[in-house]
Amino acid sequence: MTGNNIQLDAQGRLKHFLTIEGIDRSLLFEILDYAESFAAVSERAVKKVPLLRGITIANLFFEPSTRTRTTFELAAKRLSADVLNLNILSSATKKGETLSDTLQTLEAMHCDMFIVRHANSGAAHFIASKVAPHIRVINGGDGRHSHPTQAMLDMFTIRKHKPDFTKLKVAIIGDVLHSRVARSEIHALSILGVPEIRVIGPRTLIPADISCLGAHAYYDMNEGLKDVDVVMMLRLQRERMCSALLPSEHEYFKRYGLDEKKLALAKADAIVMHPGPINRGIEIESSIADSERSVILQQVSHGIAVRMAIMAMTMGNKTTGSQVEETA
Amino acid sequence: MTDVDQYIDEMLANVKTTIAAKELSELLMIGIHTGGVWIAERLHKELELQHPLGKLNIAFYRDDFSRIGTHPQVTPSKLPFDVEDKHILLVDDVLHTGRTIRAALNEIFDYGRPASVRLAVLIDRGEHELPIQADFVGKILALKPGEHVKLCAAENPEGDSPKIDKQGDLTLEITGTE
Residues A295 and A306 in one domain: no
Which residues in A lie closer than 8 A to residue B72 (C-beta atoms)?
30, 33-34
Q: Say what the ipTM of the complex is.
A: 0.72
Per-residue model confidence as pLDDT tens digits over B21-51: 888 878 999 999 989 999 999 999 999 999 9
Does A327 map to a domain?
no
- What pLDDT is attached to residue A237? 81
Mean pLDDT of B112-131: 94
Does A111 map to a domain?
yes
Does A307 map to a domain?
yes
Mean pLDDT of A262-288: 95
- What pLDDT is attached to residue A328? 40
Least confident of A124-133, B17-26, B74-83, B164-173: B164-173
Residues A59 and A76 in one domain: yes
Mean pLDDT of B131-135: 96
B105/B58 Cα distance (integer angstroms): 9
Domain span holding position A173 = 148-300
- What pLDDT is attached to residue A248? 83
Residues A156 and A296 in one domain: yes
A25/B136 Cα distance (integer angstroms): 45
Mutate to test the interface with A, among B62, B63, B74 (most CBs of A within 10 A): B74
CB-count burial class (<10 Å; 0-12, 13-18, 19+) for B176: exposed
Q: Residue A320: which pLDDT band, with cuts at 50, 70 and 90?
A: very low
Does A58 map to a domain?
yes
Does A191 map to a domain?
yes
Q: Residue B165: which pLDDT band, with cuts at 50, 70 and 90?
A: low
Name A48's Cβ contacts closer than 8 Å, sequence gap at least 6: A41, A77, A78, A79, A80, B110
Per-residue model confidence as pLDDT tens digits over A6-60: 999 988 899 999 999 999 999 999 999 999 989 988 888 788 899 999 999 999 9
Local structure of residue B3 (DSSP, 8 states): H
In total, the C-beta contacts within 8 angstroms joining chain A to chain B are: 73
Tell whether the model's pLDDT for residue B164 goes beyond 60.
no
Residues A17 and A132 in one domain: yes
Residues A133 and A269 in one domain: no
Interface of B with A (CB under 8 A): 57, 59-61, 64-70, 72-78, 94-97, 99-100, 106-107, 110-112, 125, 148
The beta-carbon neighbor of A327 closest among B66, B99, B110 is B99
3-state secondary structure of B83: coil
| Smallest Cα distance from B125 to chain A, Å | 10
Local structure of residue B53 (DSSP, 8 states): P
Residues A307 and A286 in one domain: no
- How far apart, in Å, are the Cα atoms of A119 and each of A2, A71, A115, A179? 19, 19, 14, 12
Higher pLDDT residue, A13 or B161?
A13
Per the omega criterion (within 30 degrees of 0), is the bond before B34 cis? yes
Mean pLDDT of A150-165: 98
Residues A56 and A25 in one domain: yes
B69 within 8 A of A318, measured Cβ to Cβ: yes
Tell whether the model's pLDDT for residue B159 goes beyond 70.
no
Tell whether the model's pLDDT for residue A139 goes beyond 70.
yes
Q: Residue A188: which pLDDT band, with cuts at 50, 70 and 90?
A: very high
Least Cα distance to B168 among B155, B157, B177 occurs for B155
B135/B15 Cα distance (integer angstroms): 9
B77/A324 Cβ within 8 A: no
The beta-carbon neighbor of A325 closest among B57, B68, B125 is B68
Mean pLDDT of A113-139: 94
The beta-carbon neighbor of A327 closest among B64, B66, B76 is B64
- What pLDDT is attached to residue A269? 97
- What pLDDT is attached to residue B85? 93
Least Cα distance to A169 among A151, A196, A200 occurs for A196
Which residues in A lie closer than 8 A to residue B61 (C-beta atoms)?
49-51
Domains annotated for chain B, with CATH where assigned, are 3-63+77-144 (3.40.50.2020)
Least Cα distance to A192 among A136, A235, A151, A252 occurs for A151
A48/B110 Cβ within 8 A: yes
Residues A186 and A307 in one domain: no
- What pLDDT is attached to residue A144? 92
Does A201 map to a domain?
yes
B5 within 8 A of B39, measured Cβ to Cβ: no
Average pLDDT of chain A is: 90
| Smallest Cα distance from A49 to chain B, Å | 6
The CATH number assigned to the domain holding A210 equals 3.40.50.1370
| Smallest Cα distance from A314 to chain B, Å | 9
Per the omega criterion (within 30 degrees of 0), is the bond before A275 cis? no
Phi, psi of A115 (to 5 degrees): -100, 120
For residues A97-116, b (16+ Cβ closer than 10 Å) or e, as one string? eebeebbeebbeeebbbbbb
Which residues in B lie closer than 8 A to residue A34 (C-beta atoms)?
70, 72-74
3-state secondary structure of B168: coil
Tell whether the model's pLDDT for residue B68 goes beyond 80.
no
Q: Which helix (H) or strand (E) holds B173?
A: strand B170-175
Residues A106 and A222 in one domain: no
For residue A29, the chain B residue with the least C-alpha distance is B72
Other C-beta atoms within 10 Å of A251: how many?
A: 12
Q: B116: which strand partners? A: B87
Residues A290 and A210 in one domain: yes
How many structural domains does chain A have? 2
Least Cα distance to A130 among A77, A81, A60, A71 occurs for A60
Does A326 map to a domain?
no
Least Cα distance to A55 among A128, A135, A126, A117 occurs for A135
Tell whether the model's pLDDT for residue A327 goes beyond 50.
no
Residues A134 and A162 in one domain: no
Least confident of A32-36, A93-97, A280-284: A93-97
Residues A10 and A84 in one domain: yes
- What pLDDT is attached to residue B147? 84
For residue A317, the chain B residue with the least C-alpha distance is B69
B118 within 8 A of B88, measured Cβ to Cβ: yes
- What pLDDT is attached to residue A137? 97
Local structure of residue B34 (DSSP, 8 states): T
3-state secondary structure of B74: coil
Does A109 map to a domain?
yes
Percent of chain B having pLDDT more than 70?
A: 88
